[in-house]
Amino acid sequence: MPLTATEMDRKLDEHFAYEKNDDVAGVLATLDENATHDVVGFPTGPSYGREAARRFYEGLFADLAESEVKTVKRLYGPDFMVDESLWRGSAPGRPFGLEGRGRPLAFRLLHVVEFTAEGQIKKEQVWLDLAAILQQLPQDS
């Protein structure tokens, strides 16, 4: 039986709450053991399996802080959702290979998330508004 929109919302909101608190173990617990994690354009490409996603989240939490995600719109299918959100926070590290220098940062995100029948995230594909990130974190020549 397909998940309801409410069940999908609950899982993704749980995932975002763990991200807000820089809780790697919590984030990973929302993923299926064999999940695919794909930040489109990320140099290392997709990762496969819960433990393989750990490196991405450990780096992300070192590079970004004060994370807040505001959902703009969600669309649903039988075992997937598309989530458009706005991320706000600061960039103390080197997010996406750019010097953050602690500057404030805001950008749009698009998540395409597939779920298992048990309600775990089996695939998370993330699209970032890189143009907005580059405008806010200009690099010295």
Nearest-angstrom CA–CA distance, 75 and 43: 28
Tokens of 4: 């309801």
CA–CA separation, 132 vs 113, rounded Å? 23
Q: Are 72 and 84 in contact (CB under 8 A)?
A: yes
CB-facing half-sphere around the CA of 7: CA atoms within 13 A: 16
Q: Tell me: the pLDDT tens digits for 89-102?
A: 999 999 988 999 99
**Each residue's pLDDT tens digit, 38-77:** 999 888 899 999 999 999 999 999 999 999 999 999 999 9
Q: What is the mean pLDDT of the chain?
A: 95
Give the chain's domains with CATH numbers. 5-136 (3.10.450.50)
With a pLDDT cut of 70, the percent of the chain lying above it is: 99
